[in-house]
Amino acid sequence: MSKRLKLSKVIIYSVLGLLALITIYPFYTTIITSMTTQAAYMRNPLMLWPLDFNLDAYEYVFHNSNILTAFRNSLIVSVGGTFYSMILTVSAAYALSKTHVRGTRLMMYLVVITMFFSGGLIPTYLNIKNLGLYNSLWSLVLPGGISTFYMIIMKNAFMDIPKELEESAYIDGANDLVILFRVMLPLVKPTLACIVLFYAVDKWNEWYAAMLYIQDKLRQPLMYVLRTMVTKITGNPQAGLDAQMMEKAQTVYPVGIQKATILFTIVPIMLLYPFLQRYFLKGIMVGAVKG
Amino acid sequence: MKAKKCWALILAVLLTIGCFSACADTPAASGAGSSTVAAGETSTAVNTDETDPFAETVKLSIGFWGSEKLGGDELWNDYIVPKFNVDFDYIQMDFSDYVEKVRLLAASDELPDICVSPGRTDYFSYSEQGLLKALPDDLSDYPELEAYLDTPSLPFYYIDGKLYGIPRGGGRNLNNAFAGSFYMVRKDWMEQAGYEEFPTEWEEFFTMAQDVMALNPDGISNLVGIAGSTTEILDPMKSSLSKIGEGFQLIDGQWAPAEFNKEDNIPWLELGRKAYQMGVIDKNFALDDASVAKDKILAGQAFCGMLYMTAADMQSLAEQFESANPGKSAEECIGFYLPPNGFDGKPHAIYSAVNIGTMFSAKMSDEQMDRTLRFIDWILTDEGQTMLNLGEKDKDYTLEGETFTSLLPENPATGKQYTYEEKYPSCIIKQLVTWGGDWAKVSPTVDKTYRDIYNDAEAYVMENATYAEYNYEVAWTKTDAMSKWNYMADFEQGFVKIIMGTDNIGAMYDSIIEDTLAKGGKQALAELNEVLAAKTE
């Protein structure tokens, strides 16, 4: 290899390596900070390894008796909600991709309007209450059934598939449902994976709706419980900590708690991502191509 | 083309119908409380039974940040509920989200019977909308509450002669001007630098901090002299050395914010800049958050910092110091001192205005209001305070002279004896009325050392202070322009720039005032003065 090529490779790899380090370092710092003591952190906020290794922050997080219940609730909402949303999204997208059918254009206009206008917080709250969804996990699943944006991405993916494939399936005697499940969905796997990940992350991160609609502590999702925990340790101490956590609160510090909760919440999504990565990279460009 | 226009018309009509349908009356939602009194009506004091005011069971819904802790222990289920004969319904909310939830409930006309108030503006708004029930005119059945409400700023919360909520104060005495601000100081470093007493003058205080930093007894790199956020650095200077606490002052015959008083503000700003240039104030104070002073002192990274605290907080900080610094004694290393005095050689105190902390739904009946007020009245009694802080004598604790002994059992989760809050979480109900700061002054659970520090400081301030009073009548006068005042004025940032800057202080100060006036402040103040002038005519 020529000297010039070697030098350029060195420069390229160095820059990329530096960028990779810059990207990874905040994540690494989060792990380190969550495993150290307050005194060590105050002495040296930037550490390469945990000084005074300590897992009190995680003990504080797991000391909350509701944490596993909240985790279960989040899992139910994420898995069940994603499944429900995908059924609705795929069905709506497939139907609306049939542009030759009368009324689809009007339907699209009506659907797009909902992207710009919504009922507002108060009507939504009253709607949830009157439908009997208050204080139920269904309030976190049903109202956000379809995201218009994701549905449009899905519709575009269906429209990109050549019509000839469908026609040949019709000729072979397949009906619409068979075509959807046997022909169309396998061809839009990247987009499907992408939308599944988007929905899963959205529902996993949901806390605001839980704050408004879930009264019962045993039905609160993980994000809301962790948010409450972090705001209690960093906010007004006069509001009082949960009795079980008061003991632990003496030995932990707010930054450590925040880092521990960040790690605890992103681990499930990080475990899911490698399986969807190859689809994600393909699917992320889909919505950008054409309208 | 015609078809397109047709479809566009149909779409427009559908949209319009959709908009109007949202304006339809909603059926009465299953809200809190029973609806036997018209919205906004005043309740009358009701004594359902001369001999036993608690004869009838009453239902009450409660929306409060401690709601989740209620109903799960003996204190609540075996004492409070039977005593007051109330069937409680709890609306869950947390301290971090109660403001949003209460506003949502108010907008949906579903306020619980007893509800914490998000703030002053919301209180006035809800009472004007008829969402709140007024307290009875005659409070003789609730003597503690009646005494509690005797405070100068409360009349400004009256609307048409009626009060629609009760204030939440630091303690049971709303007329206490002592703010509870102390400097937490590394006493051992102070003594090593040759200072036996904490300075009572600001220049001497800054010099002491500088001497300690130069000595650096523990050899800490980047040792901070005075740590804190913007509030913690500026507040003690402002309170001691200026009259900013008055809110509004008459300046050249016109009412204006106290920050507009150049003669009053330049001296303390000069002192602040001098301290910053001496290097004793944390260089990053403009970026730091409120917990940083405490954190840095506990970690041995700072000499001192100002904190608002009770005697119980002092004890807690001392314990945290020993936990963070094994081998060091808090008694030897940590001291709590009042901020230095003002230019007149005296401490300064301000009678702040109270805030409405708890309000009551207009859907409450008179019986429900009576029961609620009797409950609140009990919270304010010595019996109530003892029950909610210590428990029952000889069952939960014993007290022999000054010697307090807890009789609570061991907590199986921690292996240590229960604290009162762990055993009876529902004791948080005391925060419905007060934060309980005054209890810490007398509580036998707080070390006498810290109680004495706090009580002696309070006595000194109350006896020697130069007093000021917040001009709530002027500050709370509502005009359209004044409602946007917070967007026009950011004096704190301006003062930070002056302290950290190098340009002429007078010129920088004038620039802040001119900026504020240019952003609409001139019109706002003109409107305010017009309204005030009309009131006095």
Same domain, A277 and A182: yes
Same domain, A50 and A100: no
Gyration radius from chain B CA atoms: 27
Report the distance separating Cα A233 and Cα A169, nearest Å: 61
Q: Would you state the pLDDT for residue B40?
A: 41
Q: Would you state the pLDDT for residue A3?
A: 67
Topology classification of domain B44-176+355-445: D-Maltodextrin-Binding Protein; domain 2 (3.40.190)
- The last residue of one of the domains, among A54, A69, A92, is A54
Same domain, A48 and A85: no
B460 in Cβ contact with B336 (< 8 Å): no
Report the distance separating Cα B40 and Cα B125, nearest Å: 12
Same domain, A160 and A284: yes
Q: Which residues 230-249 of chain B have a CB within 8 Å of chain A?
A: none
Burial (CB count within 10 angstroms: exposed 0-12, middle 13-18, buried 19+), residue A266: middle
B132 in Cβ contact with B369 (< 8 Å): no
CB atoms within 10 A of CB A271: 9
Query: Number of CB pairs < 8 Å for A and B?
Result: 102
- Where is pLDDT greater, at A41 or B396? B396
Report the distance separating Cα B497 and Cα B272, nearest Å: 11
- Structural domains counted in chain A: 2
Helix, strand, coil % (nearest 5) of chain B?
A: 45, 15, 35
Q: Please, which residues bridge with residue B469 across strands?
A: B351
Res A29 pLDDT > 60: yes
Site from A46, A129, A233, A251 to mutate, B interface, most B CB atoms within 10 angstroms: A129
Enclosing domain of residue A7: 1-54
Same domain, A48 and A145: no
Angle in degrees, CA B512, B514, B517, rounded to 5: 110
Q: Confirm or reject contact between A79 and chain B (CB < 8 A).
A: no
**Which of A152, A247, A147, A253 has its CA nearest to residue A201?**
A147
Tell me if residue B208 falls in helix, strand or coil.
helix
Q: Would you state the pLDDT for residue B97?
A: 87
Tell me if residue B92 falls in helix, strand or coil.
strand
A61 in Cβ contact with A264 (< 8 Å): yes
What is the ipTM metric for this complex?
0.74
Domain ranges of chain B: 44-176+355-445, 181-351+471-479
Longest dimension (CA), chain B: 95
Burial (CB count within 10 angstroms: exposed 0-12, middle 13-18, buried 19+), residue A192: buried
CA distance B99 to chain A (A): 11
Report the distance separating Cα B52 and Cα B39, nearest Å: 29
Same domain, A39 and A180: no
Q: Which residues 101-140 of chain A have a CB within 8 Å of chain B?
A: 106, 109-110, 113, 119, 121-123, 125-126, 129-130
How far apart are the two ends of chain A, measured CA to CA in Å? Answer: 46
Same domain, A143 and A7: no
**B22/A123 touch (CB, cutoff 8 Å), yes or no:** yes
DSSP state of A35: T
Question: How many Cα atoms within 13 Å fall on the side-chain side of residue A211?
Answer: 22
Q: Would you state the pLDDT for residue B368?
A: 96
Q: Would you state the pLDDT for residue B34?
A: 37
Q: Would you state the pLDDT for residue B66?
A: 84
- Contacts with A170 (C-beta within 8 Å, 6 or more apart), sequence order: A179
Q: Would you state the pLDDT for residue B481?
A: 77
- Chain B residues whose CB is inside 8 A of the A246 CB are 419, 421-422
**Which of B82, B135, B57, B72 has its CA nearest to residue B428?**
B72
Q: What tokens were used for B63?
A: 């929306």
The tens digit of pLDDT for each residue in B232-278 reads 999 999 999 998 888 899 998 999 999 999 999 999 999 999 999 99
Give phi and psi for B6, each to the nearest 5: -60, -50
Topology classification of domain B181-351+471-479: D-Maltodextrin-Binding Protein; domain 2 (3.40.190)
Same fold? B44-176+355-445, B181-351+471-479: yes
Q: What tokens were used for A158?
A: 């269906």
Beta-strand pair B86-92/B334-337? unpaired
Burial (CB count within 10 angstroms: exposed 0-12, middle 13-18, buried 19+), residue B5: exposed
Distances (CA, A) of B113 to B96, B352, B356, B429: 21, 28, 16, 15
Same domain, A34 and A134: no
- The last residue of one of the domains, among A39, A54, A69, is A54
Same domain, A34 and A136: no
Q: Would you state the pLDDT for residue A55?
A: 84
Report the distance separating Cα A40 and Cα A32, nearest Å: 11
Q: Would you state the pLDDT for residue A217?
A: 85
DSSP state of A239: G
Q: Would you state the pLDDT for residue B422?
A: 84
Task: Extract the residue ranges of chain B whose pLDDT is less than 70.
Answer: 1-2, 4, 15-50, 413-414, 486-488, 537
B223 in Cβ contact with B208 (< 8 Å): no
Mean of the per-residue pLDDT values for chain A?
83
Report the distance separating Cα B329 and Cα A147, nearest Å: 59
CA A222 centroid distance within chain? 13
Query: Where do runs of H (alpha helix) occur along A44-188?
Result: 56-63, 67-96, 104-116, 121-130, 138-141, 148-159, 163-171, 176-178, 185-187
Q: Would you state the pLDDT for residue B519?
A: 87
**A250/B423 touch (CB, cutoff 8 Å), yes or no:** no
The tens digit of pLDDT for each residue in A248-278 reads 555 567 778 888 888 888 887 788 777 777 7
Q: Confirm or reject contact between B445 and chain A (CB < 8 A).
A: no
Same domain, A2 and A143: no
Of A43, A113, A231, the CB nearest to B299: A43
**Which of B389, B421, B394 has its CA nearest to residue B405?**
B394
| Residue A51 backbone zone (phi > 0: left; psi -120 to 50: alpha; other: beta) | beta
- Chain A residues whose CB is inside 8 A of the B11 CB are 106, 109-110
Report the distance separating Cα B185 and Cα B199, nearest Å: 12
B438 in Cβ contact with B446 (< 8 Å): no
How far apart are the two ends of chain B, measured CA to CA in Å? Answer: 68
3-state secondary structure B16-41: HHHHHHCCCCCCCCCCCCCCCCCCCC
Same domain, A244 and A168: yes
Q: Which of A41-55, A74-88, B246-260 has the lowest mean pLDDT?
A: A41-55
Q: Would you state the pLDDT for residue A244?
A: 47
State pTM to two decimals: 0.79
Same domain, A248 and A222: yes
